[in-house]
């Protein structure tokens, strides 16, 4: 029991962060991706995934998540870039 509690305490911050990320993606699945959006500007995406996203031109985050090779980490990078893009456009 002590070992389990130790593990729970050790990973609790990571688990909480992952839950927040999941909630953010679920909340913003319908977030529109502008036509011609540049995936080249997203640091951390593989060149293969950038190419697939550029070729397929998903209309929203939900469609982007279905692209082969799209990981949860890549989804979070895309979501952050879309939010930044929208803030700059609005501001």
Could you state, in order of their start, the residue ranges of all structural domains in the chain? Answer: 2-90
Q: Which of the pair, 67 or 24, is modelled with greater confidence?
A: 67
- pLDDT score of 18: 83
Greatest CA span in the chain, whole angstroms? 54
- The pLDDT value recorded for residue 83 is 92
Place of tokens 């985050």: 61
Spatial separation of the C-alpha atoms in residues 29 and 38, rounded to whole Å: 19
2-90: which CATH architecture?
A: Orthogonal Bundle (1.10)
- CA separation for the pair 81, 42 (Å, rounded): 7
pLDDT digits (tens, 9 = 90+) for 19-49: 887 888 788 888 999 998 999 989 999 999 9
% of the chain at pLDDT higher than 70: 100
Say how far apart CA 11 and CA 91 lie, in whole Å.
Answer: 38
């Amino acid at each position: 029991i002590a070992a389990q509690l130790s593990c729970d305490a050790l990973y609790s911050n990571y688990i909480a962060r992952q839950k927040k990320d999941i909630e953010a993606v679920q909340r913003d699945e319908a977030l529109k991706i502008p036509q011609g959006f540049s995936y080249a500007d997203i640091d951390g995406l593989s060149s293969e995934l950038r190419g697939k996203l550029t070729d397929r031109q998903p209309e929203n985050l939900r469609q982007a998540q279905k692209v082969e090779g799209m990981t949860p980490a890549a989804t979070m990078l895309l979501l952050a870039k879309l939010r930044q893009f929208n803030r700059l456009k609005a501001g």
